[in-house]
Structure 1
Amino acid sequence: MLRGVLQIVGLVPRAPVGGGRPRAVHTGGYHWHVLPAGDELFGPDGPPLEAWIRDGAVEVLKLNSQRTVYRVALPDGTMIVKQCRVNGPRAWWREIFRGSKSRLEFDHALALRRHGIAAVEPLAWGSRHRYSPGESFFLTRWEANAVPFEKYLEGLSPIDRRASSHELGRVMAHMHDAGVAHPDPHPGNLLVTFEGGRPRFTLIDLHAIRFGRPLTWRQSLDNLVLLNRWFQLRATRTDRRAFWRAYVQHRTTLPTACPVALAKLAKEVERRTEQSNARFWNSRLDRYQKSNRQYQRLRRGSVAGHAVRDLPAAFVQELLADPDAPFRDPANKVLKDSRSSTVVTLSVPTATGTTVAIFKRFRVKSPVILAKNKLRRSTAMRSWSFGHNLLDRGLPTARPLLVLHRHRLGCPSEGYLLAERVPDAMDLVEATAVATAKPAAERRRIVRSWSNSLGRLIRLMHEKQVAHRDLKAPNILMSGVHPDLAAAVPVLIDLVGVVPGRAVDRTDRVKNLARLNASFIRHPAVTRTDCLRFLRAYLAWGLHGSEGWKDWWRGVSRETLAKVAKNQRSGRPLA
């Protein structure tokens, strides 16, 4: 009833008539609304869902607390069944006001196809409860050759990437001209098929789509920012430029701005995307310490912590029972054993077989640290949270799998961190020693390649609002050192000194660069030319020009000498 009233006042779209009118079927405790295309597959009695499950005709594609997605193979065709659940008071009230997600997706799919926008082909929707919120189902036809757009992009040539960018720009322009805005337009909600020599996009996850008048420039930019959040991290500037040019070319309901104005709008999309991503990343800093779809809280006796959900439960419980057991096992190789920490390799069972991970124990050296752990994140917890946050920001680091703490007097004491092992890697100090032993020409090629890749990585780190107060060479791994050492890529590790979540000013940038520079001061394999090449990559001369580089050079040199002098006074070695 409420949904009908909202349809009359225009707050909820009316059910469209494209594709034929759905036929109501009540069978087996389910209330179905079936289109003529669905009747061809199900017959007059509607979808026999329980019989499909009982006969093993369904394959689970996705499973979480909100929904389950099945693929059902029938003699006359294959379909997708999305089972939507009401998993809390918020979801219950939401269905009271707007109807079930399945009904919304059904209506929106028909409306999109009526507008000439490619969307999944709806067959039926249904629910167990006819007049109250509850479990509902949305059935669509399976597109055998369709793949998620994010997977389609893997391994594409630059030419194919340009073609995909152009086609996506055309599709978004058509949507916005039709008054359609997708509030979650990430690539996972786009399916791609290749037809006639070009990609064809199909929209999925349609329940929140909004219909209205053609979007204004302001509304269009708001929606493009949401789309660009994913692509700004993974697509090149050239790809994004191709998308923008196609989008502007195919918009027909807005006055075409002059080239200067369009360039300003494109920069505005990029700037607002950076701000939107920063807010998103910062909002997730507390997510890693809560129970949700990706992470779980753990506790057993005096040991508590967090783990990713894809770790086997038996393995997690074994570590909870005795986190120190792996350090006593002679089968585990000891990588480090110092006053502050011990690091060993540890075999971890996974769905694809056993893999080797890195297990680190953080010792508590004084009662002061024990008290500090009560008032702030411990070193283990910072490594856990910042590791996941750096991965969210698209920065390379080892993925944390589990973090544990023993507790004494109500305070976290010894900490334990399990993280994936970076494949085929050695730390930057060791890798540089290997490079030094190479012939002169080969050594220069390797160091030049590393100078460029390190400069780009640290620039990207700072642009994504991450500072690293302990950016020394041992805290950087070079991954993929075989067979070509020059092709190795840098990976950040030991993240206790990371400070994410705020803009990195010039002073902190210079200090970060100086800390890394101090690791190679007077190193025979690193020349001033290599340092300049590193600075050139960091400042992105090709994009921003070389103006002001000498001020950066002098600032880094002063901070490097200050760091060297400080370590000499304290008697600490300069790593």
Structure 2
Amino acid sequence: MKKKILINPKYEHLRSFITSLPDTFSQNGKVIYQSRNELRVFEKAGLSLNVKQFGIPLFFNRIIYNGFRPPKALRAYEYALKLQHSGINTPEAIGCICMSRRGLLDRCYFISLQVPYTRRFYEFGTAPLEGKEEIIRAFARYTARMHEAGVYHKDYSPGNILFDIREGKPEFCVVDINRMKFGPVGIKMGCANFARLWGQQPFFRILATEYAAARHFDAEVCIKWVLHYRQKFWKAYSQRHPPEFQLDL
């Protein structure tokens, strides 16, 4: 079994914990998510650490990831450092482990600081917007800053956007960042980024209007494209799965 281990120099004192994870992960920590991938929180050296164990890919992907494409854990680590350098809030990267056996990718781990945010964008699915308009506008401006910085989250869905109100102002944090695109983000591409979010049309109209203002786009054009890409995504999605919120297309 081969291991590739990267550790943020700031957290070199956690090396023994990180290198032991393949042997100790399943016996320790608190499970906070368990499916194909598994998330556990560990308390070490006065820090709360979030460790994501990635499921072993399908056979063909094990070959691809081992020689032609960076594994998800490595991308998550490198992208976190890149986002932090750009001033985009995401859990601080601590390290990653990529394991391979006989030339095929095996278990991988991404280690980051556990963040304290308690709210996710699922709550906008059917909840009244009254009193939440400023959160929506602040989120639109946050997304505009990401796009202006050339950062595009390819899985910009409700579970990957964390937030809380801090000192009277909304504060956002993006997670699950192993699928990112870096480069110029135009009006259509930017508007399409909101398609997976939950919410009714009034939510998206507020979002699109503020996003347009932040990026100096035409508001009506942004509203048109945001609603267009939203409808396109959810029509296709609802043919395969029943939406978990009241969908008004």
Q: Give TM class, smaller chain.
A: 0.7 to 0.9
Match of 1:68 among 33, 38, 55: 38
Q: Sequence identity of aligned pairs in percent?
A: 19
What aligned pairs does 1:315-394 form with structure 2 within 5 A after superposition?
A: 389=241, 391-392=242-243, 394=245
The answer to whether the aligner puts 1:281 opposite 2:132 as a matched pair is: no
Say whether 1:148 aligns with 2:124: no
Compute the displacement of 1:151 (Å): 4.9
CA distances 1:474-498 after superposition (whole Å, capped 9, x unpaired): xxxxxxxxxxxxxxxxxxxxxxxxx
- Aligned match of 2:110: 138
> What TM-score, normalized to structure 1?
0.39
Residue 91 (1) aligns with residue 48 (2):
no
Other-structure match for 1:39: 12
Matched residues in 1 for 2:186 and 2:157: separation?
21
- Aligned mates of 1:139, 1:39 — CA distance in 2: 13
d(CA) in 1 for partners of 2:47 and 2:106? 28
Give the deviation of 1:31 after TM superposition.
Answer: 3.7
2:188 to 209, 218, 234: 218
Shift of 1:36: 2.4
Q: Name the structure 1 match of 2:94.
A: 123
Q: CA deviation at 1:152?
A: 8.4
| TM-score after normalising by structure 2 | 0.85
Q: Distance in 2 between matches of 1:44 and 1:211?
A: 33
CA–CA separation in structure 1 for the residues paired with 2:156 and 2:190 = 12
Which secondary structure state, in structure 2, belongs to the residue aligned with residue 245 of structure 1? helix
Distance apart, 1:132 and its partner CA:
4.5
SS of equivalent to 1:98: coil
Contact 2:91 2:175 in 1 (8 A): yes
The 1:71–1:153 alpha-carbon spacing in structure 2 relative to 1, beyond 3 Å, is farther
Structure 1 CA distance, aligned partners of 2:229 and 2:127? 29
CA RMSD for the aligned pairs?
Answer: 2.9
Residues 44/51 of structure 1: CA separation in 2 closer, same or farther (3 Å cut)? closer
- The alpha carbon displacement at 1:81 in A equals 0.5
Residue 56 of structure 2 aligns to a residue whose secondary structure is coil
AA aligned to 1:77 is: L
CA shift at 1:46, angstroms? 4.3
Q: 1:274 to 1:46 in 2, by over 3 A?
A: closer
Shift of 1:247: 1.2
State the Cα distance separating 1:107 from its structure 2 match: 0.4
Q: Report the secondary structure of 1:267's partner residue.
A: helix
1:148, distance to aligned residue in structure 2 (A): 2.9
Could you tell me which residue of structure 2 aligns to residue 48 of structure 1?
20
1-side partners of 2:191 and 2:39: how far apart? 32
State the partner residue of 1:272: 229
| Deviation of the 1:90 alpha carbon | 3.9
Q: Which has the higher contact order (CA 8 A, sep 6+)?
A: 2
Q: How does 1:78-117 map to 2 (within 5 A)?
A: 78-95=48-65, 96-117=67-88
| Match in the other structure for 2:148 | 177
Q: Does structure 2 conserve the Cα–Cα contact (< 8 Å) formed by 1:165 and 1:243?
A: yes
> Is 1:57–1:73's contact at 8 Å kept on the other side of the alignment?
no
Aligned residues: 247
Change (3 A) 1:222 1:53: closer
Residue by residue over 1:227-250, the C-alpha shift from the partner in whole angstroms, topping out at 9 and shown as x without a partner, is 23433xx3450x333322321222
Structure 2 CA distance for aligned equivalents of residues 77 and 109 of structure 1: 18
Tell me, in whole angstroms, the C-alpha distance in 2 between the residues paired with 1:33 and 1:156: 45
Instruction: Tell me how far 1:164 sits from its aligned partner.
Output: 1.2
Letter in 1 for 2:236: R
Structure 1: distance between partners of 2:61 and 2:161 = 25
Cα–Cα, structure 1 residues 180 and 187, in superposed 2: closer, same or farther, change >3 Å? same
Larger CA Rg, structure 1 vs 2: 1
Structure 1 residue ranges without an equivalent (≥5): 1-27, 285-388, 396-459, 465-575
CA–CA distance in structure 2, aligned partners of residues 157 and 268 of structure 1: 21
**Distance (Å, rounded) in 2 between the aligned partners of 1:271 and 1:50:** 45
What are the Cα deviations for residues 183-241 of structure 1, in whole angstroms up to 9, with x where unaligned? 110110111132221121111111110111x2122322332xxx23433xx3450x333
Aligned residue for 2:136, secondary structure, equals: helix
Match of 1:202?
173
Decide which of 220, 228, 233 is 2:195's aligned counterpart: 228
Q: How much has 1:154 moved relative to structure 2?
A: 8.6
> Match of 1:537?
none
